[in-house]
Amino acid sequence: MLSYIKKFKLFFISLAILSIIIMAIIYNILNVEQPLPVYQPVRIDASLVDSTIQNKRKYHSIANFKLINQNGDTITEADYKDKIYVADFFFTTCQTICPIMTDQMYRVQEAILEDDEVKLLSHSVTPEIDSVAQLKRYAIEKGVNDAKWNLVTGDRKQIYDLARKSYLVVKDDGLQDYGMIHTENFALIDKDKQIRGMYDGTSKASVDSLLVAIKKLKKSYK
């Protein structure tokens, strides 16, 4: 038996190599591409998720909402129906990560400016400070295109619940009255209101990955 194996050793090695080459060729021809994952609360850093849903394993989606944008218009989930969008949380007086995040979100805006399928949504974590007038000043300063990008304010509890029960991107500050510590996270949301990616909004490389993911998500609907 051993002599038989030795005799055909070269044959089996050649066959194995040929099989690998054939599989690689087939893979490239079919251009096999894995879909983006659907994020569930159980997969997210627990500090970003409300305790009531930390163990949720499936069927997570973004809740309905009703907020006011930089133009004083009411913005609801209907404005994002059948859209892919990127969501984040910020505040206009932030002097640390927010300016960087806004610059990176502006990059996304410019990349999707002519794309009717994709929009942006930024929520203020200090709605008592970020009035409509304040958001408008900020929008003008940062080059926000009103048709693509809504900066929204509204009821603090609603924004808190959206941050921690829907988008899963904001920490609780441990104080009363729904205090929020925003993070650098950008959430990619699909047309079914599911989270399909988390990206570092202070990192150009991570936002580059987000732009690639948007294209990939768009392709999945064709």
Q: Which amino acid is at 158?
A: Q
Residue 175: what pLDDT?
Answer: 82
The pLDDT mean for the chain works out to 90
94 marked as binding residue: yes
Give the residue from 183, 133, 178, 132 showing the smallest Cα distance to 156: 178
Mean pLDDT score, 205-219: 98
Report the alpha-carbon distance of residue 211 to residue 82 in Å, rounded. Answer: 18
Q: Does the pLDDT of residue 138 top 70, yes or no?
A: yes
Phi, psi of 123, rounded to the nearest 5 degrees: -105, 135
Whether residue 94 has pLDDT greater than 90: yes
pTM of the predicted protein model = 0.85
Tokens of 78: 């209907």
> How many angstroms separate the CA atoms of 119 and 155, rounded?
22
Return the DSSP state at 173. Answer: -
Q: Which residues pair with 181 in a beta bridge?
A: 171
* Cβ atoms < 10 Å from Cβ of 104: 24
Q: What is the pLDDT of residue 27?
A: 45
Query: Residue 57 class from Cβ within 10 Å (0-12 exposed, 13-18 middle, 19+ buried)?
Result: exposed
Q: Is the pLDDT of residue 10 over 90?
A: no
98 is in an annotated binding site: yes
3 known ligand binder: no
